[in-house]
Chain A
Amino acid sequence: MSKRTDSNSYTMIFAIIMVFVVGSLLAFMASSLKPNIDENKRIEKQQNILYALGVDENEGTSAKFVSTDLAGTAFSKYITKQIEVQGGNEIENSDAYLIDIKKQQTLAKQGKQRRLPLFVGKNKKGVTLYVAPIRGKGLWDAIWGYVAMDENMVIQGAYFDHKGETPGLGANIKQRYFMDDFIGEHLLNEAGEFKGIKVAKGNNDPKNLEKTDYEVDAIAGATITGDGVSAMIKKDLAMYMPYFKTLKK
């Protein structure tokens, strides 16, 4: 069988044209939609931070953010101060929430100084909380989140999200039953040393009544994602220790 489409030159030309057409189509779509996508991501960050702070529209057992239209006003209402932490010092930066944690972690890996954003806000009860972003690796891709703490580094709210964890297993870290388990957990021991929180299998405290065991109950079938959550909490929140020490004085 010999068709026009079997010749080598036709194949080459077809491949070149196809790559060109598909490449420019995707590049065009990506660049023309970028402003919308960036804006959506910015609003999502505000919603995430507010969620960790306890400003949400949760109903029943599902996690629900404040709506996109209200996120901007709620953000300026509840977040009183945005800062960058450097050791025990703070630098005010009203756009600290736009700092890209992924880029900062790459900088830190190269041995350069990284920026540590922290958002100071009041929750609905008027209690001052400190929300810190965290980021790490799950099973397939990136996982990240925001943790709200009081000045003793006791967790008062947590939000986790992921890029591509397995639906039904690792993806459940963004379910409310998992995120709510972190509330009330202590990050520091009585001596003031940083302990972190372990997402533990075989936890004999499934109702999570014990708040000073530095453990929450793991999700079945999501061991590696759970380990990723423990690791990012331990690594990223420990960097804020010097700042929280200054708050106690």
Chain B
Amino acid sequence: MGLLSKKDAALLTDPLADNNPITIQVLGICSALAITAELEASIVMSISVMFVLGLGNVVISLMRNIIPSKIRIIVQLIVVATLVIIVDLVLKAFAYELSKTLSVFVGLIITNCIIMGRFEAFALGNGPWRAFLDGIGNSVGYGVILIIVGFFRELLGAGTLLGYPVLGNPIPGELSGLYAYGYENNGFMLLSPMALIVVGIIIWIQRSRNTSLIEEN
């Protein structure tokens, strides 16, 4: 690859599979459980996290030599909170419709451990360009899992994808599609515990395909 050295490219690709933030690093689990009831919310959250993590990693990386180690967690928290609030304010002023969709996610982004986790584990020890790549790579890895979970939860829980009915009409008396054959939505899929089970299944599949990920006791 001309643009990126091999080491830099690995920063982007590793988090997609073998070093995935959710399934391997166990970062960002809370939001993966909370907001994946719908595919659309998963996509919006993934894009927001990509923006904040990419930018935040660069800012923290630039400040890495002047941040006092005793209060570094608080400094990281302030940086991410400031970034998110500024983005929210600008959207409210110039793209109000969009901001209404996103403002629900603001609190979830600030408290998302994937952001603090990457600041702490990577941005504090690496230059801005590599930190940026790490931020993008990890947020894409995070987004992939969110979208997979969101896909199955919305499909099996509500019978829709991005709000469009794909399995037919479930209303009694107007049954069509799969529902006409006695299929029923599983309302349990809409609740958070099922997200945990879906994430668990993804981890299971991933580890059975790549046995080097299994820890030895």
Chain A residues at the B interface, C-beta cutoff of 8 Å: 3, 5-6, 10-11, 14-15, 18, 22, 25-26, 29-30, 33, 36-37, 40, 44, 61-62, 68, 163-169, 171, 206-207, 220-221
| Interface stretch (choices B1-9, B82-90, B197-205) | B82-90
Q: Does chain A have a CB within 8 A of B104?
A: yes
Q: Does chain A have a CB within 8 A of B182?
A: no
A26→B105 CA distance, assembly (Å): 19
Within the complex, the shortest CB–CB distance from A105 to chain B, in Å, comes to 22
A104→B167 CA distance, assembly (Å): 46
- CB <8 Å contact, B171 and A206: yes
- CB <8 Å contact, A33 and B90: yes
- CB <8 Å contact, A33 and B89: yes
Within the complex, the shortest CB–CB distance from A185 to chain B, in Å, comes to 18
With A11-B71, A37-B92, A207-B173 as contacts: A26 and B85 at CB distance below 8 Å: yes
| Interface stretch (choices B14-22, B33-41, B132-140, B208-216) | B33-41
- CB <8 Å contact, A168 and B70: no
Per a CB cutoff under 8 Å, which of B66, B89, B93, B96 touches A14? B66
- CB <8 Å contact, B37 and A14: no
- CB <8 Å contact, B171 and A207: yes
Chain A positions within 8 Å of B217 at CB level: none
- CB <8 Å contact, A40 and B82: no
Chain A positions within 8 Å of B171 at CB level: 206-207
- CB <8 Å contact, B86 and A10: no
A7→B92 CA distance, assembly (Å): 41
Per a CB cutoff under 8 Å, which of A14, A40, A171, A207 touches B104? A171
Chain A positions within 8 Å of B35 at CB level: 166-168
Within the complex, the shortest CB–CB distance from B143 to chain A, in Å, comes to 15
- CB <8 Å contact, B82 and A33: no
With A30-B89, A220-B187 as contacts: A5 and B67 at CB distance below 8 Å: yes
The secondary structure that dominates the A interface is helix
1/0 per residue B55-80: CB within 8 Å of A?
00000000001111111001100100
Per a CB cutoff under 8 Å, which of A14, A164, A167, A207 touches B71? A14
- CB <8 Å contact, B85 and A164: no
A30→B66 CA distance, assembly (Å): 27
7 A-B pairs (CB sep. < 8 Å): A18-B78, A26-B85, A44-B96, A163-B103, A167-B37, A169-B37, A221-B190
Within the complex, the shortest CB–CB distance from B39 to chain A, in Å, comes to 9
Chain A positions within 8 Å of B190 at CB level: 168-169, 220-221
Interface size class of B (residues with CB under 8 A): 35 or more
Chain A positions within 8 Å of B37 at CB level: 166-169, 221
Chain B residues at the A interface, C-beta cutoff of 8 Å: 34-38, 41, 44-45, 65-71, 74-75, 78, 82, 85-86, 89-90, 92-94, 96, 103-105, 107, 154, 163, 171-173, 187, 190-191
Residue of A whose beta carbon sits closest to that of B97: A68
Chain A positions within 8 Å of B85 at CB level: 26
- CB <8 Å contact, A5 and B68: yes
Within the complex, the shortest CB–CB distance from A152 to chain B, in Å, comes to 28
- CB <8 Å contact, A6 and B70: yes
A10→B154 CA distance, assembly (Å): 51
Per a CB cutoff under 8 Å, which of A10, A25, A36, A166 touches B93? A36
Residue of A whose beta carbon sits closest to that of B90: A33
Which 7 residue pairs are nearest across A and B when measured between Cβ atoms? A168-B37, A167-B41, A168-B38, A36-B93, A11-B68, A40-B96, A33-B93
- CB <8 Å contact, B93 and A207: no
- CB <8 Å contact, B69 and A5: yes
- CB <8 Å contact, B172 and A207: yes
A169→B190 CA distance, assembly (Å): 8
The residue in A36, A61, A168 that gathers the most chain B C-beta atoms within 10 A of its C-beta is A168
With A6-B70, A26-B86, A33-B89 as contacts: A165 and B78 at CB distance below 8 Å: no
Within the complex, the shortest CB–CB distance from B158 to chain A, in Å, comes to 8
- CB <8 Å contact, A167 and B67: no
Residue of B whose beta carbon sits closest to that of A168: B37
Residue of B whose beta carbon sits closest to that of A40: B96
A15→B96 CA distance, assembly (Å): 34
- CB <8 Å contact, B66 and A166: no
With A29-B86, A30-B89 as contacts: A206 and B34 at CB distance below 8 Å: no
- CB <8 Å contact, A18 and B75: yes
